[in-house]
Structure 1
């Protein structure tokens, strides 16, 4: 594990639904993925193994095969923007699976983002992307509302991609 520090103090706060430290902007996007145990298992595996993120078309660099606390990841967008992060928590339960990462120095934003798959009592499978952030670089600050819009679009795209991955496996 690197000695790089997190760029915010509330490390792990995304474990609590709706948590958003003062001075940060919240993010919460929930997408229906499908229904049933097979869809849940496939979606949970795709989130845990970075498959969902890689299917988004991002460069997702890590030496770990699965999300685990302490694992570092660097996301690169369009070959230009590098965003180093570290996994801060994971969950793997009968109806709940996922993880969150926090930003490290060199990331254009400061904050945390969680990707959690859950299966409700009626069997519906959901992906919730939640977190909190604030810009730290001049270009993230200059982006203003557009930057925020991109974050929400990214979260919605995660759900779309995961739905496709999980439904493809359910057809097998």
Structure 2
């Protein structure tokens, strides 16, 4: 949904309530859990080292819970609560309807998604994260996973795994621009997560 001015809270709530009753608009939901994508989608994996040790992992986990990867200066995140209220910092839960609001002059862009699954594993290494997938009101089709993990050496990583393709003619015609926006978001999201844990000393 494209707006020529910052949308009012009622506009954001109405969009979330409308999209909450719809299914995702892409093939094979959950594919990012296996680091795969359906045929015909662009697939990307990007990751960054956050640090080492339990304290870093704990801080990174908390940052994901608070959607800190959206602290990039031109994006905001809104979540539809179970009571119909709209929140900005609610821990991701499977089935949630959310929307990012991107400031992309001269427009504002609302991109509704649904949380497809969450990950909270402690057995074979430590992992925490979630994935969300696009809803019909989104200009693209696809899924994006945000994951914090600690390897067997105690090094903590944050990764973004995604697959996507254009949903309609406007998105296809503007694909080079959309692609640059995606790359900018990923780069700055990785940096935002580094900032979120840089106060921690292992």
Q: TM-score, normalised by structure 2?
A: 0.78
Distance 1:37 1:115 in 2: 19
Partner of 1:81: 109
Partner of 2:86: none
For residues 27-65 of structure 1, the C-alpha deviation after alignment (integer angstroms, 9 at most, x for no partner) is 111111111111111111111221332x12312111451
Secondary structure of residue in 1 paired with 2:198: helix
Partner of 1:46: 63
1:164 shift after superposition: 0.8
Conserved? CA contact 1:10–1:21, under 8 Å: yes
Partner of 2:157: 126
Conserved? CA contact 1:31–1:156, under 8 Å: no
1:155 shift after superposition: 1.3
Q: 2:189 aligns with which of 155, 158, 172?
A: 158
Conserved? CA contact 1:7–1:104, under 8 Å: yes
* Larger Rg, first or second structure (1 or 2): 2
Q: TM-score, normalised by structure 1?
A: 0.91
Conserved? CA contact 2:27–2:38, under 8 Å: no
For 1:1-150, list aligned pairs within 5 A: 2-17=20-35, 19-53=36-70, 55-57=71-73, 58-64=75-81, 65-78=90-103, 80-94=108-122, 95-150=126-181
Distance 2:129 2:92 in 1: 8
RMSD: 1.6
